[in-house]
Amino acid sequence: MNLSDILWSLRYGVLYTAEIFALTLAFSLPLGLAVCFGRLCRLKPVSLLFRFYISVMRGTPLMLQLFVAYFLPYYAFGIPLKRMGESWLFIAVIAGFSLNYAAYFAEIFRGGITSADKGQHEAAAVLGFTRAQTFFRVIFPQVLKRVTPAIANEIITLVKDTSLAFAIGQAEMFTAAKRLASKEVSMLPYLAAAIVYYALCLLVAFAASRVEKRLSFSV
């Protein structure tokens, strides 16, 4: 098989990788913002709870978290995995990735929010803005500009981390490449997978640069 044939053979794996990537991003970004709010909560028990969550998610391997997400129903509740159905594997993958990346996004958002000038809160209060209006109309656009590069870096990491889904048996592009490499006794499938990962990372970097240009106002 030549390189183009191998790339075509990997198409279904690429689709699974893209699906894991897109769903993780869709869930982890808003969840990360919610975790950030919990981390910044003035109630000490709430803040400590979210600090602990972030610490655990960032302090343990993502692969281990995927195993926990997948096997939790069995070890915690005694539910056989066969009873969970074939879709449970994919759900566990998305849950594991989303919970992990939400912790990283939360800290990125927190850094952006805490860097905002406190005087802007006071000025918004004088203008009669509520706390919610102040955040979403004044603070958040500035936060978004500041955190875009850091978020882009995490998203690029996510593209590559999708390969860890193979650890619990989820077939994605890296799994497909391994199987094809074993079948063909060739390194070309790995090269094809590397090309696809690199192309996806370039696409994310390009999109991030476009967003940064759109947000190119002074703060």
pLDDT digits (tens, 9 = 90+) for 162-190: 999 988 888 889 888 988 898 888 899 99
Q: Are 26 and 186 in contact (CB under 8 A)?
A: no
Mean pLDDT is highest, among 22-26, 130-134, 148-152, for: 22-26
- Say what the pTM is: 0.88
> Residue 217: which pLDDT band, with cuts at 50, 70 and 90?
low
Residue 181 to residue 183: CA distance in whole angstroms: 5
| Helix count and strand count (H, E) for the chain | 11, 0
Kindly report the length of the chain: 219
pLDDT digits (tens, 9 = 90+) for 184-209: 888 999 999 999 999 999 999 999 88
Per-residue model confidence (pLDDT) at position 62: 95
| Residue whose C-alpha is closest to residue 103's, from 44, 52, 140, 153 | 52
Q: Which carries the bigger pLDDT value, residue 135 or residue 52?
A: 52
Mean pLDDT of 48-64: 96
Q: Are 14 and 85 in contact (CB under 8 A)?
A: no
> Residue 104: which pLDDT band, with cuts at 50, 70 and 90?
very high
Domain-embedded: residue 54? yes
pLDDT digits (tens, 9 = 90+) for 74-100: 888 888 888 887 789 999 999 999 999
Residue 116's domain comprises 3-214
Q: How far apart are the first and last CA of the chain?
A: 54
Domain-embedded: residue 172? yes
Q: Are 35 and 113 in contact (CB under 8 A)?
A: no
* Domain of residue 31, CATH code: 1.10.3720.10
Per-residue model confidence (pLDDT) at position 153: 94
Q: Which residue has the tokens 């594997």?
A: 89
Domain-embedded: residue 104? yes
Q: Which two tokens stand for residue 193?
A: 């997978």
For residue 122, is pLDDT > 80?
no
How far CA 131 is from CA of 38, 127, 165, in Å, comes to 16, 12, 40
Domain-embedded: residue 136? yes
For residue 73, is pLDDT > 80?
yes
How far CA 91 is from CA of 53, 116, 141, in Å, comes to 20, 37, 32
Share of the chain above pLDDT 90, in %: 55
Domain-embedded: residue 109? yes
Residue 200 to residue 194: CA distance in whole angstroms: 10
Residue 44 to residue 38: CA distance in whole angstroms: 10
C-alpha neighbours within 13 Å on the C-beta side of residue 108: 24
For residue 137, is pLDDT > 90?
no
Per the structure, the count of domains in the chain is 1
Domain-embedded: residue 219? no
